[in-house]
Amino acid sequence: MNPKLVSADKKGRAPDKAFRAREFGRVVALTRNHRRGLVLGLIITVGFAGLHTISIAGTFPIFQVLLEEEGLHGWIDRAVVEDRLGMTLAPLVDGDVARVIKVDGNGVASAGGIGPGDEVRSPDDLLSKPFFDSLATAEDGAELKLLTGPPGSLREVSLRGGPLGTETKALRWVSTLLPPDGPDTKLRTLGIILGFVVCIVILANVLRFVGEILVASAVLRSMMDLRDLLYERILHLPMSYFSGIETSDLVTRFVQDVQEIQRGLVTLFGKAIREPLRAMFLIGLGLLVDWRVTLTIVVIVPITVVVFLAVGRKAKNANRRLLIVYGNMIGALTTSLQNLRVVKSYTAEAHEQKSLDIVDKRMLKQQLKLARLDAFLSPMMETLAVLAGSVLTVWLASRVLDQTLSLSKFAGLGVALSMLFDPLRKLTDVYVRIQRSTAGAERIFSILDHPPETSDSANAKEIEPLQRSIEIDDVSFTYPGATTPALDRVSLTIAMGETIAIVGPNGCGKTTLVSMLPRLFDPDSGEIRFDGFGIRNSTLSSLRRQIGLVSQDAVVFAGTPVENIGYGTSDTEGATGTDRARAEDASRRAYADEFIGALPGGYEATLGERGTTLSGGQRQRLAIARAIYRDAPVLIFDEATSQIDAESEQKIQTALRDFSRGRTTIIIAHRLSTIQFADRIVVMDAGKVADAGTHKELYDRCQLYKTLCDTQFVAEPVA
């Protein structure tokens, strides 16, 4: 077990500091098939943000009722008068004087000669509060008389009030729903306002719940599509791809990397949209109250962006390394657990534990780095928020003291701004999560972007069942990363119905050569032809339907014996009726029926993962039954009888002689009895064909074959 930290997809990667906009865009594009639910969820999220802001706005009338002498109705009347006359008034002083703070340049008040600092009173010395009520309830365009001017030199002016805006009309309508101002009605008014706020909060959170469910559903379905797409691509990658990547790394991409993308998308369509919307609406509310609230944003946002960018890049790099080490850990665990018998037999428990500890410590290092980055952001944002909030509070308090800002507005702005810091705080991990998701996306897209095994060309044809011969013409092949060719200009012709055995020392290219026939690998040079037709120009499906393969490592899938025997044939779904009879016949011919019948449930028994409930010989016989069931015209047996006991091998050899009659059969074996069964024996050495002939011919003239027979071939099956 090798605990080294290795990345199989490091080449061609952008610099670690770059924000991978392309991968980010592709991650977002994964949701396009489920965009309806996603868009609806986002629309509902906008509704939540708006209602949340309305609930915060409800604090303004609450503070107006509790803190201001003029009361809620007086505040509304003053707001209506300000809108109608185009000026800003300070709250009433001693109940009968209003002071002008600001005058709009094109408003009615400006045209009447009213300026900042002037007082506004009733022309008949009525109290200003009832006078404001009369101004507020007057019809649009009605003549309005009032006393105005600097203190001590008031004059009477006659003005025609302008039309009210939508917001002011809404305020007037709201005032009709509330009891009049008075000491005895404050509690009742407060209860009505709080009831309204509670209803808005409930509705807002219902919308948030529905929106998050819709977004989560769209993202989870998109991840299911991604896993399907990833699995489909992996199944169609050329075998050469897998020589440079560990299986555990592929499993990590399925599990951990997809999960990182899922978290990133949920964050992107959740917090990354919801919280900025909340912040925008709250800023809008603050601007309605006092535009100077934007000073807070000017102070916080640039610093926040710089912090996000720096931490996000570090998090992305740390997460990429974590995913790689996570794959190494899965590989280490899988290797140890699958080979636990060997580990125990060689008392290597301590060695395996130490090796896993090395990988685990590297994973811990990256996890701690991510934990430090996550832990840094929230305190940093809170510190910035407190600093900016303190400066803003002092500034707003100074305006209250010089009477340019009412106490209720001061309190309301404090609530709005404190709530503004909440979405900013929640945004602290958004960029980090998105960066972490792009790290996972890079690894997944490196697979999706890898060219699949040579797909059918536009001129590809269905290849007909073999009639004459298989021609291997001057074929050479070198594995990726290797310096020595596995096959070096191999030429061989195999006649239809001929049985040949391929022998040679380990690593001579036997398995590589037979892997060329179903195009598990394509030659670097040379050509393979079926009846004179180049297999590169045939469809893969029609080519592979002609070949039945039994490998040295007998593969058994989780499922029933019937499902395993009929594996890869489209007509075996359900495995009943004729298929069951066909599977049982193949099983009997491979002498697998005798142990299948002894299983609990027989042909419907559930076999364990990788066939762990079966012995090596039983797995091999089941694999041979699968090849017989496939009934292909070309059979390849790669050490197919290596794990069969003596009695079973004699029976299987008899079955193979019968089954291979009229079929083209290629056998790789080390048993002399199996080799002698062949019509012709091909001797390979160092990727080349050294000789070919019958057993007697080769034994007499080929020194390599004679040496193999005398030193390596098993003369008789060992029980």
**CATH code assigned to 21-32+224-448:** 1.20.1560.10
Mapping DSSP to helix (H, G, I), strand (E, B) and coil, where does residue 2 land?
A: coil
Which CATH entry fits the domain spanning 71-180: 2.30.42.10, 2.60.40.10, 3.30.460.10, 2.40.50.140?
2.30.42.10
Please, are residues 657 and 641 in contact by the beta-carbon 8 Å criterion? no
Write the pLDDT tens digit of every residue in 574-607.
444 337 788 888 888 877 888 887 778 777 777 7
Say which residues have a Cβ less than 8 Å from residue 268's Cβ, sequence separation at least 6: 28, 430, 434, 437
Residues of the chain above pLDDT 70, percent: 72
Residue 203 has pLDDT above 90, yes or no: yes
Residues whose CB falls within 8 Å of the CB of residue 10, separated by 6 or more in sequence, listed in order: none
Res 476: pLDDT: 92
pLDDT of residue 7: 37
Q: What pLDDT band is residue 44 in, cutting at 50, 70 and 90?
A: very high
Question: What does the chain come to in residues?
Answer: 719
Structure confidence by residue, pLDDT tens digits, 45-56: 889 888 888 888
Asked if the domains 456-546+632-719 and 553-621 are classified in one and the same CATH topology, the answer is yes
Alpha carbon distance 282, 402 (integer Å)? 26
Q: Nearest CA to 594 among 667, 637, 644, 636?
A: 644
CA-CA distances (angstroms) from residue 408 to 20, 63, 75, 396, 617?
47, 5, 10, 12, 86
Top pLDDT among 471 and 251 is at: 471
Answer CATH for 456-546+632-719 from 3.40.50.80, 3.40.50.300, 3.20.20.70, 3.40.50.2000: 3.40.50.300
Query: Considering the chain, what is the average pLDDT of its residues?
Result: 76
> Where along the chain do its domains lie?
21-32+224-448, 71-180, 456-546+632-719, 553-621
What are the pLDDT digits (tens) for 567-579? Answer: 776 544 444 433 7
Number of Cβ within 10 Å of residue 509's Cβ equals 24
Architecture of domain 553-621: 3-Layer(aba) Sandwich (3.40)
3-class secondary structure, 179: coil
Distant-in-sequence, close-in-space partners of 60: CB < 8 Å, separation ≥ 6: 289, 408, 409, 412
pTM recorded for the entire structure:
0.64
- The three-class DSSP label of residue 514 is helix
Cα(369)–Cα(315) distance, rounded to whole angstroms?
8
